[in-house]
Chains A and B, each alone.
Chain A
């Protein structure tokens, strides 16, 4: 009886492994194909039947894509796009960490009338889609004279976001109140408690919202599309789309190379911060 059960288990495991391997193939194929195409000479992208390994591996496709248009524009587009994206990421991450931790502290560690109602309202704002806010916000930025600058893309991060507030509040609540009370007995102000007691313990959660904000900024397309005007100020996402719409159609190998350039840093970041990523995602899903 035990033997046949074991055999059943073995074949089940084997079956599962098989399925997983096939599925992995499907999930990995597109990315591998992207790389394969990126390294091919242009004629080979259209051969029938298609090949995986290019006859000539054109590493310079990457540098070609990276530096395309350098002569006409006078600067290296993807380098500039990368720099702009990085600047926005830095400002956005800083803003998100600072503002949301402050607000979450208020919701999690302080008692005040209407706090829970305010928190419920905060949660509710997650249902508000950006398109309904888009036009007035745009008009507002226009009045400020901010259209064409980076400000609309990072300043709002300094004023809180419902999602990050939610995440951090849950986390802050899990820090024992006794720590705060002990500090209060020692005569510490709220600011001191925030800064010296809560924040150091919150590093994992802060890392998560920083990561999410970084990814969001890297990924953002609609924002740069409506707020940025001069091509010199474009971000990687917008720059890639411009590259695609200008050179669309044939230059598939360059296009795939450019696409890979935009994807690579994120994948690298993931490998360095895997723990935070997975933790963060599970936190969002579970505490919801």
Chain B
């Protein structure tokens, strides 16, 4: 390396030092420690005791573990695609250059700003079986609303509906992506006599597919970690553990049952699941995602 390169490298490392330290202290060390603890019986009040694979074998026989996995999967499988549909749908509507676009955009975006605890508290009230706005609204069109908060069949749907209210954030991203699509492509499609639906399917979606992919991956990572809203709305995952999600169980194991090794094992399993899903998404995306968009 030339002297100039050496100087540049040294400067580069100096500039990057906060991250280097941060990476080692807040990422690498905890990640490795977490694996170690997952093989131990560890309550932070006492030093860890090595117990080999016991935490993992216990996990695989733990019905609550499977229940929280399935709850989380159920939530993700519905909330993610529905969220994307709503966000893209809204963005498509707004993309038609209607008057008052900025106002609508603000209206749809505002709910995604609401802090999660406020969100949970607000929807606790909205979903109230007797006095909640949701059931009142349903009542006005002649449907007897269920007990969203105390019926295990409806507690997760309630959370999914709630999550749809907060898609304004994603909508804005999709809107920007839509506005980036070159108009010529639409004009060309028009010349071919394409219907609006054809245009969406063959021009719009492919052109914003990178955005969709990004949102999908971020969505997977976020949805699998859902914690705050169910923690506030459904303590203990009641009723009947229907809203007991993975991170809540992890948290309880760590801080309520003092089984931190067990919690670390759960954490690593979650990480592996996220990795796998991300890889799968990326692999699938190679066929479907169309880069090079934008003028």
What is A's interface to B at a CB cutoff of 8 Å? 13, 16-17, 19-20, 23-24, 27-31, 33-34, 37, 45-46, 48-50, 98-99, 102-103, 105-107, 110-113, 115, 118, 122, 125-140, 142, 156, 158-161, 165, 190-191, 194, 215, 218-219, 221-222, 226, 236-238, 240-241, 244-245, 252, 255-256, 258-260, 262-263, 266-267, 270, 274, 278, 281-282, 284-286, 288
Contacts and interface: CB of A to CB of B under 8 A. Distances in A.
Nearest to B16: A106
Contact of B176 (A28, A118, A140, A286): A286
B165 A129 contact: no
Interface in B220-253: 221, 224-225, 227-228, 231-232, 235, 246-247, 250-251
A157 B256 CA distance: 28
B116 A221 contact: yes
A24 B108 contact: yes
Contacts of B13: 106, 112
A110 B12 contact: yes
A286 to B, nearest CB: 6
Contact of A33 (B121, B133, B250): B133
B81 to A, nearest CB: 18
A262 B117 contact: yes
A241 B232 contact: yes
Contacts, number: 276
A194 B214 CA distance: 30
A270 B121 contact: no
Interface residues of B, number: 98
A33 B116 CA distance: 17
Contacts of A221: 116-117, 227-228, 231-232
Contacts of B268: 132
Contacts of B214: 285, 288
Given A134-B254, A237-B117, A288-B214, A127 B174 contact: no
7 contacts: A110-B15, A112-B5, A128-B27, A133-B26, A221-B231, A222-B228, A260-B118
B30 to A, nearest CB: 4
Nearest to B102: A274
Nearest to A26: B165
A156 B26 contact: yes
Nearest to B18: A99
A244 B115 contact: no
Given A106-B13, A156-B26, A194-B15, A30 B165 contact: yes
A281 B33 contact: no
A156 B271 contact: no
Given A156-B22, A262-B115, A30 B126 contact: yes
State the majority secondary structure of interface residues on A: helix
**Interface class of chain B by DSSP:** helix
Given A252-B131, A285-B214, 19 more contacts: A27-B165, A28-B110, A30-B111, A30-B165, A31-B114, A99-B19, A103-B16, A110-B9, A112-B13, A125-B27, A131-B246, A131-B251, A131-B270, A135-B42, A135-B254, A159-B22, A266-B115, A282-B173, A282-B177
B172 A281 contact: yes
Contacts of B44: 135, 138-139, 142
A48 B124 CA distance: 18
Contacts of A105: 15
Contact of B113 (A135, A259, A266): A266
Contacts of B225: 129-131
Contacts of B175: 282
B23 interface: yes
Nearest to A47: B131
B232 A255 contact: no
B19 A129 contact: no
Nearest to A113: B9
B18 A102 contact: yes
Nearest to A190: B11
A132 B116 contact: no
Given A127-B274, A139-B44, A266-B115, A255 B15 contact: no
B211 interface: yes
A135 B133 contact: no
Contacts of A107: 16
B15 A129 contact: no
Nearest to B253: A135
Nearest to B250: A131
